[in-house]
């Protein structure tokens, strides 16, 4: 299989998810509402209760990342379980890791979109006002964390759906695996806004992203085999 054909397969799988989402809003509708609710709830609770909202804003941002991200990931994977849709993709004469990467790409875009809206919500509702450069860097951290989160979430959601496990088990399995992502994301956010060096945490985030993506891509064949 040529690299061009491989990348085309990745794009086709991701593209069909984006096209379907534009029409149905099945993933983003609920996830965006949930993310904003978390931010608004933090706002109601803390705006008058604490002097510095910055740590609260970071908490709201990463908590919404965790919960809204999980919702987006499980919903994106659930589409594949409906009426054997994933098996249709597996029958195609393309490397199956391309199917997986396409799914991870679209899910990353969904999770990142939810988190960028959360970030905007934090700016609006929690008076979060770091320098513009730091805000852009935080957005980049969210996108990078979304990639690792999607890579793991897609795999676990497919494991759950194909083995008949309840979808509610996905967060239980997912959260421990993404602790390094969350930890590095939170620390990077704090360092970026505080003007401190980010090298070590950035390497952890990128390295863990790469490990999750590679490990899950290798496992995909076993996850989907009947």
Binding residues for other proteins, rule CB under 8 A, total 30
Query: To the nearest whole angstrom, how small is the minimum distance from the Cβ of residue 71 to other proteins?
Result: 17
Could you tell me the CA-to-CA distances from 65 to 89, 91, 139, 190, 193 in Å, in that order? Answer: 29, 34, 12, 15, 18
Select from 9-17, 44-52, 142-150, 180-188 the region that touches other proteins (CB under 8 A).
9-17
DSSP codes, 38-80 = HHHHHHHHHTTT-S--HHHHHHHHHHHHHHHHHHHHHHHHHHH
Does 4 help bind other proteins (rule: CB under 8 A)?
no
Shortest Å, Cβ 91 to other proteins: 5
Nearest to residue 106, comparing CAs of 213, 208, 16?
16
Among 49, 51, 52, 91, binds other proteins (CB under 8 A): 91
Give the interface segment with other proteins, choosing from 34-42, 53-61, 85-93, 152-160 (CB under 8 A).
85-93
Binding flag, residue 23, other proteins (CB under 8 A): yes
Within 8 A by CB and 6+ apart from 28, the residues are 21, 72, 110, 113, 114
Residues in 182-201 that interact with other proteins by CB under 8 A: none
Judged by CB under 8 A, which of 67, 96, 134, 206 binds other proteins? 96
Which residue is associated with the tokens 């991200």? 69
DSSP string, 92-119: SSS-HHHHHHHHHHHHHHHHHHHHHHHH
**Neighbour count for residue 17 (Cβ, 10 Å):** 20
Which of the stretches 20-28, 122-130, 157-165, 203-211 binds other proteins when contact is defined by CB under 8 A? Answer: 20-28
Nearest distance, CB of residue 76 and other proteins, angstroms: 11
Taking residues 65 to 84 in sequence order and writing x for each that binds other proteins by CB under 8 A, - otherwise, the string is --------------x--xxx
Q: How far is CA 181 from CA 14, 121, 210, in A?
A: 23, 22, 11
Query: Which residues, 112 to 171, sit near other proteins by CB under 8 A?
Result: none
Min. distance of Cβ 94 from other proteins in angstroms? 6
- For other proteins, the binding residues (CB under 8 A) are 1, 5, 8-9, 12, 16, 19-21, 23-24, 26, 79, 82-85, 87-96, 221, 225-226
């Amino acid at each position: 299989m040529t690299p061009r054909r491989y990348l085309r397969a990745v794009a086709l799988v991701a593209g069909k998810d984006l096209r379907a989402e534009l029409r149905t809003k099945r993933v983003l509708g609920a996830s965006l509402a949930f993310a904003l609710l978390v931010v608004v709830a933090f706002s109601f609770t803390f705006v008058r209760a604490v002097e510095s909202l910055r740590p609260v804003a970071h908490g709201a941002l990463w908590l919404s990342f965790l919960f809204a991200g999980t919702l987006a990931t499980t919903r994106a994977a659930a589409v594949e379980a409906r009426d054997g849709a994933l098996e249709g993709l597996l029958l195609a004469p393309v490397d199956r890791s391309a199917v997986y990467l396409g799914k991870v790409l679209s899910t990353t875009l969904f999770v990142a979109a939810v988190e960028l809206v959360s970030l905007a919500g934090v700016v609006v509702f929690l008076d979060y006002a770091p320098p513009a450069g730091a805000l852009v860097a935080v957005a980049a951290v969210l996108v990078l964390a979304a990639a690792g989160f999607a890579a793991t979430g897609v795999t676990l959601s497919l494991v759950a759906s194909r083995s008949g496990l309840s979808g509610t088990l996905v967060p239980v399995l997912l959260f421990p695996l993404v602790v390094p992502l969350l930890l590095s994301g939170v620390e990077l956010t704090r360092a970026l806004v505080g003007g401190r060096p980010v090298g070590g945490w950035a390497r952890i985030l990128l390295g863990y992203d790469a490990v999750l993506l590679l490990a899950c891509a290798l496992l995909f064949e076993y996850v989907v085999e009947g």
